[in-house]
Amino acid sequence: MINESAVFWSRVLTEITLSFHIIYATIGVGIPLMIMIAQWVGYKSGDEHYILLARRWARGFVITVAVGVVTGTAIGLQLSLLWPNFMQLAGQIIALPLFLETFAFFFEAIFLGIYLYTWDRFDSQKKHMLLLIPVAIGASMSAVFITIVNAFMNSPQGFDVVNGQLVNIQPLLAMFNPAMPTKVAHVLTTAYMTSAFVLASIAGYRILRGSDHIYHKKALYLLMKLGFIFSVATIGVGDFSGKYLAEYQPEKLAAAEWHFETEAGASLVLFGILEDGKVKYSIKIPWGLSILAHNNPNAEVIGLDQFPEDEIPPLYIHYLFNIMVFIGIFMTALTLVYLVAKWRGWVFVQSKWYNWLIVAGGPLSIIAIETGWWLAEVGRQPWILRGIMRTEEGATTSDGVDMMLILFCLLYILLAIGSILALHRMFKENSIEREIADRTAAKGGDLV
């Protein structure tokens, strides 16, 4: 028996939890790579500013890891409490990637602890830098394994259902499902891209606040280069994701693109509103959807007319798709202009208005991550396990989920405030000017 109230509140609580967790999880995946690259650049160039970059980023990273652990634990708890029917069915199949995700996190945490407590204890920065390799690998593999679970929910395979029971379970086949390559690649590239833009936003803000120290300028230049590389990679992966959807989840693609009727040479619809079943005030790119879906301007693209009404995802995901894509394009263009301007010697990128665009890039990237995640999850509806179990069938039938929602929201508010205050106090009491002065005195000369 389905408890509609429990289903509704379970969905709300899960969405809030994932929306909060994804911020810290994304940073937790991308920052270790940024730290490793900064320290490598410092080691290769002999520039202490980049070593200091790595050191300060690592300190802040610890705070985000701590919050990510709490919210990740909350997700595991909620899977069991809010979605018991789903876990009873799918848990025996997805247990392997869930276990491997935990193992990858411990692998990362062990080496992160060693890395943090061995600063200045090695005779070579190279030896200390090598500790970051397992940290970065562990962080990325955590994302890989948990994304595999999500990919399985979109494209379940590796088992048979006989008389309502799962038989012939093949965990590895379930893990390497059709959705896995594009989803894993998209999560990793967007995590690296977002982390670069968040850190660049901080550097840009410090410059706007009047800090003219070369440290911030070097940080900004490095991060804008990395942001450009990973944003271009994200666009490429996004193209492959569109082709995956066209083949395996055409209803999600059709809903996201407001493609109502199956046709060849389909146009790509941007923005617009729906009035009486008609799309108005939109921007249409001729043949764009056919090219996105099949790399052929004359290819036929399946429309929503081919699916039962109760299996069509909510049509508002169209706006989520538009927001995600346009932020990605904006950030790619922003970094490209910055890099070309640096190469050509154009000074307008040093102006306040351009630095404000860079500062805005951090929050915009977080918004893109959120809308992309909502698109992925809402676009799978009405299924929690596509084609096998509907969302309402997987939810708890118990009451009291609304009270859980209040308690968890209070927890997330405290975690958000606590992490922001901790990071602010950490870097306020250890300003870059003070830290450079201390390290200069310790080394007996200027940092170069």
pLDDT, one tens digit per residue, over 314-361 is: 988 989 999 998 999 999 999 999 999 888 888 787 888 888 999 999
Specify whether the CB–CB gap between 185 and 237 falls below 8 A.
yes
Residues 143-182 pLDDT 10s: 899 899 889 988 888 888 777 677 888 888 888 999 899 9
For the packed helices 352-378 and 317-344, what is the interaxial angle rounded to 10 degrees?
150
Please state, in angstroms and rounded to a whole number, the distance separating the CA atoms of residues 34 and 408. 31
Of 260, 285, 255, give the one whose Cα is nearest residue 270. 285
Is a pLDDT exceeding 60 seen at residue 444?
Answer: no
Residues 249-270 pLDDT 10s: 889 988 888 888 888 888 888 8
Residues 94-111 pLDDT 10s: 888 888 888 888 888 888
CA distances from 21 to 64, 86, 147, 193, 321 (A): 10, 21, 14, 17, 20
| Average pLDDT of every residue of the chain | 85
- In this prediction, residue 422 carries a pLDDT of 83
Is a pLDDT exceeding 90 seen at residue 121?
Answer: no
> Left, alpha or beta for 168 (phi > 0: left; psi -120 to 50: alpha)?
left
Beta-carbon contacts of 286 under 8 Å, excluding residues fewer than 6 positions away, are 265, 267
Of 313, 310, 309, give the one whose Cα is nearest residue 321. 313
Q: Which of 64-78, 129-143, 412-426, 434-448 has the lowest mean pLDDT?
A: 434-448
Neighbours of 79 (CB within 10 A): 19
Please state, in angstroms and rounded to a whole number, the distance separating the CA atoms of residues 150 and 90. 11
- The more confidently predicted of residues 433 and 404 is 404
Specify whether the CB–CB gap between 228 and 343 falls below 8 A.
no
- In this prediction, residue 432 carries a pLDDT of 62
Neighbours of 436 (CB within 10 A): 18
Whether the upstream peptide bond of residue 382 has omega within 30° of 0, thus cis, is yes
Lookup result for tokens 């199949």: 93
Q: How confident is the model at residue 433 (pLDDT cuts 50, 70, 90)?
A: low
Is a pLDDT exceeding 90 seen at residue 230?
Answer: yes
- In this prediction, residue 72 carries a pLDDT of 82
- In one-letter notation, the amino acid at residue 175 is M
Lookup result for tokens 């990605």: 328
CA distances from 258 to 179, 285, 320, 325 (A): 22, 13, 12, 15
Of 444, 442, 419, 437, give the one whose Cα is nearest residue 119. 442
Of 259, 311, 318, 329, give the one whose Cα is nearest residue 290. 259
Cα Rg of the chain (Å, integer):
24
Is a pLDDT exceeding 90 seen at residue 424?
Answer: no
Domain ranges of the chain: 1-179+386-448, 213-248+250-379
- In this prediction, residue 63 carries a pLDDT of 85
Beta-carbon contacts of 197 under 8 Å, excluding residues fewer than 6 positions away, are 223, 227, 331, 361, 362, 364, 365
